[in-house]
Amino acid sequence: MSEPPDTQTARAPRIRAGDDAAWSGILRQIIDLSAEEHNLRAMLRRVAELVLDATAADACFVHVVEHDSAEVVLMGASPAEFEPVVGSVRLPIGEGIAGWVAQRGCPALVEDKWNDPRYRYIPALRGEEFSSLVSVPLVGPHGVVGALNVHARRPRHFDLKDMEALSSVANLLAGIVENGVLYDRLLHREAELERFAARTIELQELDRRRIAADIHDGISQRLVSAWYHLKAAQSAPDTTTSRAEMEAVDGLLSDALDEARRAIVGLHPAVLDDLGLTAAITSVSASLGTDLAIDLDLAELELASHVEASLFRIVQEALQNVVKHASASRVAISLAAGAEGVKLAISDDGRGFDPDSARAATSYGLSGIHERARVLGASFELCSRSGDGTTLLICLPPAGESSNSRPDHRPTPAGSP
């Protein structure tokens, strides 16, 4: 814990506000720091320390604009006792002095903050201990990226000279913060990509295991069985027995052939490449080999091939679930494009289930659907209630409206330019 600052006497600034040469020294130190330190928080903590030291104030906070949430977030602080709250103190843009400064892009000199209507008390920043403050905006090439606040415990008259000196720090800091935010975003993206690659490999392995299980449990078993029946036919004592055995071989081989066809369609339906998504969905529905009534309402859309492949896999897994778990008599699949993007819905009239308990299970079918939707930048909704059927809804927004959409996501009616 650092020494409590002397609250009786105001300290003399190490650098006087108008001492341009000394402030230039601070700016140089910040430039050196920006080259050495790529961690934005660590960098802003050092800048806050430098500013605090130079101004002999009692606290320095750097708030950074977060556009997604429309908030300013405390990203650098000095003295060190505020370090634990860095990253967690947030103010809506427009609220509090930092929010006001970030919104308007102009500085604020506040001698008595308790009489300033813009001031908002933040317990984590121990507002009760400070009286005066100066706040300057960090204005970068693309707008305001934050606010630099300097607080004094005792009433202090920060003047225009203080503000000018701090503004030159803020101007320099703005570009650094902008780069730092972009760098952090890049790191985040990279981590996401790594997670995605790991998940893709996991999904591939799961697919392979499923295919191996299909071949082992279905095709192989039938072939082995057919072989025994063939042997029995060869050594049959009479033609009636031999014919009965050969009929069994016939049935087993035709079942094995059906299973092999289903497995091939499951692996990669050639029809997806040749005729597109609607034909592939129609073909996979027809190959289910059940009494399930299937209503298809599929619009012909031109989608990127990776989008088609993912939507196809989603339908395939959803249909397998209906067959395996739903005891349904009907399933409806619809694919449509509108102003809100592409919508895929798979709905059955089966027994339904509790999605929360399924989520806790270690199966990967539904989580695979969720993952595929997420990778496409689509939303995934699962509505199911015991006894009330199940509906899966995937909505793929038009290009540019999802975080990871690609330009070729935009659906166009088939045949349009």
Ligand X SMILES: Nc1ncnc2c1ncn2[C@@H]1O[C@H](COP(=O)(O)OP(=O)(O)O)[C@@H](O)[C@H]1O
Among residues 71, 245, 348, 371, which is the contact residue for ligand X, using CB under 6 A?
348
Place of tokens 């970030």: 102
3-state secondary structure of 323: helix
Measure the CA dihedral 28/179/199/392, to 10°: 150
Q: With CB under 5 A as the contact rule, which of the stretches 149-157, 256-264, 282-290, 319-327 interacts with Mg ion?
A: 319-327
Among residues 132, 310, 321, 405, which is the contact residue for ligand X, using CB under 6 A?
321
| Positions 362 through 381 that interact with Mg ion (CB under 5 A) | 365
Q: State the alpha helices, DSSP H only, in 215-330.
A: 221-234, 239-267, 270-274, 277-286, 305-321
Q: Taking CB under 6 A as the rule, does residue 142 contact ligand X?
A: no
Among residues 390, 396, 402, 410, which is the contact residue for ligand X, using CB under 6 A?
390
- 265 is written with which tokens? 């369609």
For residue 204, give the nearest of 273, 268, 283, 278 by alpha carbon. Answer: 268
- How many Å apart are CA 404 and CA 397, to the nearest integer? 11
Q: Taking CB under 6 A as the rule, does residue 363 contact ligand X?
A: yes
Task: Find which of Mg ion, ligand X, none residue 390 binds, CB within 5 to 8 Å per kind.
Answer: ligand X
Measured from the CB atom, the residue of 100 and 312 that comes closer to ligand X is 312
* Polymer length of the chain: 417
Measured from the CB atom, the residue of 107 and 350 that comes closer to Mg ion is 350
The Cα angle at residue 38 between residues 32 and 44, in degrees rounded to 5: 75
Measured from the CB atom, the residue of 321 and 405 that comes closer to ligand X is 321
Q: Taking CB under 6 A as the rule, does residue 366 contact ligand X?
A: yes
Among residues 59, 252, 322, 337, which is the contact residue for ligand X, using CB under 6 A?
322
Q: Are the CB atoms for 85 and 74 separated by under 8 Å?
A: yes
How far is the CA of 310 from the CAs of 12, 199, 303, 306, in angstroms?
A: 66, 14, 11, 6
Measured from the CB atom, the residue of 355 and 398 that comes closer to ligand X is 355
Q: Taking CB under 6 A as the rule, does residue 361 contact ligand X?
A: yes
Among residues 269, 365, 377, 397, which is the contact residue for ligand X, using CB under 6 A?
365
Among residues 2, 36, 324, 356, which is the contact residue for ligand X, using CB under 6 A?
324
List residues near ligand X by CB under 6 A.
321-322, 324-326, 348, 350-353, 358, 361, 363, 365-366, 390
